[in-house]
Chain A
Amino acid sequence: MNVGIVSYGAYIPRYRIRVEEIAKVWGANANSIIDGLMVFEKSVPDLDEDTITIAVEAARYAINRANINPEKIGAVYTGSESHPYAVKPSRTVIAEAIGATPDLTVADFEFACKAGTAAIQTCMGMVETGMIELGMAIGSDVSQGAPGDALEYTAAAGGVAYIIGKKDQVANIESTYSYTTDTPDFWRREGMPYPEHGGRFTGEPGYFKHVSSAAEGLMKRMGTKPSDYNYAIFHQPNGKFPTRVAKMLGFTSEQIKPGLVVPRLGNTYSGSCMMGLAATLDIAKAGDRIFMTSFGSGAGSDAFSFTVTDRIDEIRNRAPGVETLLANPIYINYATYARHKGKIKL
C-alpha cells in the first residue's frame, strides 16, 4: 500500500499502583494474580487527567516528533471506551489543542479495545483515496475496572497517536485485515460506571478466536509467515493472552518482547497494542518488519503488517519513547488510587 505511519507519540501518566496493593484491599493473593495475569503494576491518571488530556499529550508528541504542520491533518479519529462525554466529541478538543482546526473532520470511535486500530484503518482509506493528506489515529483510555473486579488489576491509563500519510513514512503499512463477529464477551451499558464481562468467555470465543483468525487471515492474504517478521504485537489485556496467542500462531517470545509493555503498564485498552507498536518502533531498524493484531471485545481484531523505513532514525528521539514514559513512576496506595479514579464520590 502507499500509506504508512508518518509519526507517532505516546503518553503515560506518571502514577502507578502495584497489584499487591490492590490485592491487599480485597484480601486476594497477589502472587497468584501476578502469575495469572503477568501484570505487576498499572498506570493511574492524575486527578486532572482524562482520555482527552492523555490523547492531546500523545498527539502533540506525534506532531513534534516529525515536525508536522497540524493544519495538514485532515482527520482526527480517536478510539476510546472512556470518552469523558457520552455525547459531545472528545476529538474537537484534541483537534483544537493541536492546532488542526477548522479544516478537518473528526469523530470519536468506540470498539472496546480496538477502536484505535479501527481509527488507523479509517485514516488509511482516506489518505489512500486522496481525501486527506494526513490523518491522525489515536487510542486513549482511562479504562474502568469495578472495585474488586478482576479488571481492576489491569485497567490502566495511557494513549498513543499515529499520523498516517503517504510522504515521509517511518513505517509502511503493507496490508491490513480485520475479522469481526457478534460475540458479546464484554460491555458497558449507557450510564453505567463499570463494564461487565463474560469471565472466561472473553478468552476462547473472544480474544483467541478473533486475534488468531485476523492474524492468520492477514498472513494468508499476504503469503507471509511468523518468521518473516522481526517483531509482533498482540492486544495486551494482560501478559498471558498475547504470550499464548503468539505461541499459538508460531511467533517467538523474542519477537513479542519489545512490544509487551503490559506487565509494567497494565491494559490501556484502546491504547494497548498501539503502545506496544510504539515501544517496538522505538527500537526498530530500517527494514524491520512488524506484525500487529488488536482485539476489541464484542468482538473483532485488526491485523497489520508494517515495514520500517530508514526515516525512523531521524525522528525517533524527537519525542519521549515508551521506555522513558514508563521510567520514574510514582507509586500510590489504594486510597490515593481511588481518589484519582473518582471512586470516592465527593
Chain B
Amino acid sequence: MSVPRFWRRIKNLYNLIGTHCEKCGGFFYPPRNMCPKCRRNGIVNPFKFKGAGVVVTYTIVHTAAKDYAKLTPYILAIIKLDEGPSLTSQVICDHSQIHIGMRVKSAFRKLGEESDKGMIYYGTKFVPMEEKA
C-alpha cells in the first residue's frame, strides 16, 4: 500500500462506510461505485454499516507476508455483515473460541505499518459480539 492509496480509503476502513444501491437495495462493502446488478441504472450512495456480523469461514494464518509477520498466528476470516455483504478481516479472540457462525462486531485496530519509519495503517477488525475485547 502507498500513502495515497490508503488515504483514499480511510473513511471506508475506519468506519465501515461502503455503498448502497437505492435502485435495487443492494449493499456493498467493500464499496462499489457501480451496482453489479443494476450497472449503469443503479443509484449508488455511501452507506455506513453497523459493524455487526457473523463468521462465514476463517483460518489461522501462521505464515504471513512481511508486513503481517509480527501478528502471526492471527485469525483471518470472512465476515457477513448483518446488512448483507461479506468482507475479509481479522478476528481478535482466543484461538480456541473462533468458529463458523460466531457473532462478531467491529473494533478499531492497527492493520499494519510500513516499517518503523513508515506510515501506520488503521482500520476495522472484529471481536466477539458477547465480550468486546
Question: Which residues of A come within 8 Å of B, CB atoms?
Answer: 13-14, 46-50, 52-53, 56-57, 60, 84-85, 93, 96-97, 99, 320, 328, 330, 346
Instruction: Give which listed residue, B10, B15, B71, contacts A47 with CB less than 8 A.
Output: B71
For B71, give the chain A residue with the smallest CB separation.
A47
Chain B residues 69 to 96 lying within 8 A of chain A, measured CB to CB, are 69-71, 90, 92, 94
Name the residue on A nearest B17 (C-beta).
A99
Question: B70 touching A53 by the CB < 8 A rule?
Answer: no
Closest 3 CB pairs of A and B: A56-B108, A48-B110, A48-B109
B1 contacts partner chain A, Cβ-Cβ < 8 Å? no
Interchain CB contact under 8 A, A96 and B133? no
Give the docked Cα–Cα distance between A87 and B127 (Å). Answer: 31
User: B-side binding surface: helix, strand, loop or mixed?
Assistant: mixed
**In this complex, what residue of A is CB-closest to B127?**
A14
Instruction: Please indicate the chain A residues that have their CB under 8 angstroms from the CB of B120 in the complex.
Output: 50, 52, 84-85
B43 at the A/B interface (Cβ < 8 Å)?
A: no
Give 1 or 0 for each of B37-81: 1 = CB within 8 Å of chain A CB. 000000000000000000000000000000001110000000000
CB-defined contacts of B107 to chain A, threshold 8 Å:
57
Residues on A with beta carbons closer than 8 Å to the beta carbon of B10:
96
Known: A50-B110, A56-B108. A97 touches B132 (CB 8 A): no
Q: A84–B90 Cα gap in the complex (Å)?
A: 22
Tell me whether A97 and B15 are in contact (CB under 8 A): yes
- Shortest Cβ distance from residue A62 to the other chain B in the assembled complex, whole angstroms: 14
A-B contact pairs, 16 of them (CB 8 A): A14-B133, A46-B133, A47-B71, A48-B109, A50-B120, A52-B110, A53-B109, A56-B122, A57-B108, A60-B108, A96-B14, A97-B14, A97-B15, A97-B122, A99-B15, A346-B69
Task: Determine the residue in chain B with the shortest Cβ distance to A46.
Answer: B92
CB-based contact A48/B15 at 8 Å? no
A49 touches B109 (CB 8 A): yes
A97, B70: Cβ atoms closer than 8 Å = no
Distance of A282 Cα from B43 Cα, bound (Å):
46
> Which B residues from 105 to 133 make CB contacts under 8 A with A?
107-111, 120, 122, 125, 131-133
**A320 touching B109 by the CB < 8 A rule?**
no
Q: How far is the CA of A99 from the CA of B92 in the complex (A)?
A: 23
Q: Is A53 touching B11 in the complex (CB atoms < 8 A)?
A: no
The answer to whether B11 and A96 have CB atoms under 8 Å apart is yes
Q: Apart from A50-B120, A60-B108, what 18 extra A-B contacts exist at CB < 8 Å?
A: A13-B133, A47-B70, A47-B71, A48-B71, A48-B90, A48-B109, A48-B125, A52-B110, A52-B122, A53-B109, A57-B107, A84-B120, A85-B120, A93-B122, A96-B11, A97-B122, A346-B69, A346-B70
CB < 8 Å neighbour of B122 from A46, A53, A346: A53
Given contacts A48-B125, A97-B122, contact A320 B132 (CB under 8 A): yes
Chain A neighbourhood of B92, CB < 8 A:
46, 48
In the assembled complex, the CB of B28 is this many whole angstroms from the nearest CB of chain A, namely 20
Expressed in whole angstroms, the minimum distance between the Cβ of A157 and any Cβ of chain B is: 13
Q: How far is A85 from B132 in the complex, measured between Cα atoms in Å?
A: 27
Tell me the bound Cα distance from A48 to B89 in angstroms: 13
Most chain-A CB neighbours within 10 Å: which of B10, B92, B109?
B109
A40 to B2, CA, bound (A): 43
A99 contacts across to B, CB distance below 8 A? 15
List of B residues within 8 angstroms of A14 by Cβ: 133
A-chain residues with CB within 8 Å of residue B125 when the two chains form the complex? 48
Of B94, B108, B122, B132, most A-chain CB atoms within 10 Å: B108
A176 to B90, CA, bound (A): 44
Q: Which of B70, B109, B131 contacts A328 (CB 8 A)?
A: B131
Shortest C-beta distance, A96 to chain B (Å), equals: 6
Q: Collect the chain B residues with CB atoms within 8 Å of residue A84's CB.
A: 120
Least Cβ–Cβ distance between B131 and chain A, in angstroms = 7
A345 to chain B, nearest CB (A): 9
